[in-house]
């Protein structure tokens, strides 16, 4: 366990990973706190929590993982940072209902924008992944109630999309804001029913995905081994 608000715990966790596995090739920044409240209803304790975990945590873990990712690149491996954060869209509709949360979540995406450029010459990929629809997690239960799961997909769609991204050439595929369904469509997948919590039920769109961006995520090269694994699941 690691509290990513704690600099010392983050340093210790990264060092333990290096000592255990001999280095770090992939960093996935997934930890996130959420409070979908307007400004007057957002107490500063919750504001601080979201920014400490979402933005500061992503920045700090990436910072301390970077030397090991650079070493990975020097050894000819395929180092990646993947942030679970939305495509950057500076539209009022994504901010006005919950300014504090949107600021914190978009901060993770700004790390992608900046660090992809910062690390490009080092051969380290930095990308973002975000779901097209709601994903059945504990957060969905908290925000919308257990019934909302029926309008969601399982988290397997995100793990499958993440795999496709993480096997791309880190020297080439970087700085992308990917949508899970678009990534999998680029691999030839057309039937997404297996990811539905309740097949046939209408799916709820996730936050931060503009209508004109759906279907326009960056297309990674085909991952042949991934296609074989997908076929084995169908």
Q: Which two tokens stand for residue 26?
A: 């992939």
Q: Which two tokens stand for residue 150?
A: 């029926």
Q: Which two tokens stand for residue 182?
A: 């678009």
Distance CA 151, CA 140 (A): 10
Q: Which of 47, 101, 106, 173 is catalytic?
A: 101
Q: Which two tokens stand for residue 19?
A: 């000592």
Q: Is 163 a catalytic residue?
A: no
69-100 b/e (C-beta count within 10 Å ≥ 16 → b): beebbeeebbbbbbbbbbbebeeeebbeebeb
Residue 201 gets which letter from DSSP? Answer: S
Helix (H) and strand (E) counts in the chain: 8, 4
Q: Show which residues are catalytic.
A: 101
């Amino acid at each position: 366990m690691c509290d990513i608000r704690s600099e010392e715990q983050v340093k210790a966790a990264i060092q333990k990973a290096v000592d255990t596995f001999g280095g770090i090739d992939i960093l996935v920044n997934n930890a996130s706190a959420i409070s979908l409240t307007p400004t007057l209803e957002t107490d500063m304790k919750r504001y601080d929590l979201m920014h400490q975990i979402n933005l500061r945590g992503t920045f700090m873990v990436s910072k301390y993982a970077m030397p090991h990712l650079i070493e990975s690149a020097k050894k000819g491996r395929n180092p990646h940072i993947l942030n679970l954060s939305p495509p950057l869209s500076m539209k009022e509709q994504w901010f006005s209902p919950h300014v504090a949360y949107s600021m914190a979540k978009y901060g993770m995406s700004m790390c992608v924008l900046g660090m992809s450029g910062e690390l490009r010459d080092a051969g380290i990929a930095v990308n973002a992944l975000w779901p097209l629809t709601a994903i059945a997690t504990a957060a969905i239960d908290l925000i919308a109630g257990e019934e909302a799961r029926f309008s969601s997909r399982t988290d397997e769609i995100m793990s499958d999309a993440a795999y496709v991204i993480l096997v791309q050439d880190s020297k080439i595929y970087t700085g992308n804001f990917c949508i899970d369904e678009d990534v999998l469509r680029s691999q030839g997948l057309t039937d997404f029913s297996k990811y539905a919590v309740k097949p046939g039920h209408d799916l709820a769109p996730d936050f931060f995905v503009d209508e004109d961006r759906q279907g326009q995520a960056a297309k990674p090269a085909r991952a042949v081994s991934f296609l074989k694994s997908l076929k084995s699941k169908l």
